[in-house]
Structure 1
Amino acid sequence: MSVRGVAEEVPGAYKDVRAVVDAAQNAGLAHKVARMEPRICIKG
């Protein structure tokens, strides 16, 4: 794995998905209909 690949996996590299969804809903761009949770992650 490259240094760039490791940097992409740092938790701080991602936005809080709840904040993004809330912002989209508050802006009228989306409506919450379900909450999903990952069960498995396969990287290749």
Structure 2
Amino acid sequence: MWGETLLKEMEARGIIVRAASKSGVAEEAGFAYKDLAAVVDVLHRLDISRRVASLTPIGNIKG
């Protein structure tokens, strides 16, 4: 079961997931997103934007 394995991996990293279905968890898994630090670095180096702060997320609610 892909969803069950993913839930266990995320919980091992300290990420608590509550979802209506386990199959829907894969859509929001970390690997589905780009590395934000890499994106910010490119934007900063190209003078498109300026890096001013680094934030650490503590929660995410989708609904």
| TM-score after normalising by structure 2 | 0.54
Query: Alignment partner of 2:40: what SS?
Result: helix
Number of aligned residues: 43
Larger RCO (CA under 8 A, 6+ residues apart): 2
- Which of 13, 19, 30 aligns to 2:38? It is 19
| Greater fraction helix | 2
Unaligned residue ranges in structure 1 (runs of 5+)? none
Q: Which has the larger radius of gyration?
A: 2
Tell me the percent identity: 45
Gaps of 5+ in 2: 1-20
Say what the alpha-carbon RMSD is for the aligned residues.
Answer: 1.9
What TM-score, normalized to structure 1?
0.70
